[in-house]
Amino acid sequence: FCCLIFLRKEQDTCLMVAWNAAEQDRTFQPPRLAPVHHWKTLLNTAQPGFGTSTNLAPSTEPMSLPGGSMTVMIGRAN
């Protein structure tokens, strides 16, 4: 289980991208989100249950990454 959190410069909104690569090779690496230049990487860690924070809610727009399922959450930064 991996998490990526991005902080948007214009406002304290977090975008958490979590994907499950359990069926993939352990060396699986997600593609960089370079085109989204206004998002700044804050955290790249593996903490199960991080997405259970009450200030996060599922996004209305589904997203996908090659090689695994993915859940996107939008929430306010603490």
Query: Which residues lie across from 12 on neighbouring strands?
Result: none
Task: For residue range 16-46, list pLDDT tens digits in order.
Answer: 444 444 444 444 444 444 333 333 333 333 3
Angle at 64 between CA 49 and CA 33, to 5 degrees: 90
Quote the pTM value: 0.16
Domain ranges of the chain: 2-76
Cα–Cα dist 21/67, whole Å: 7
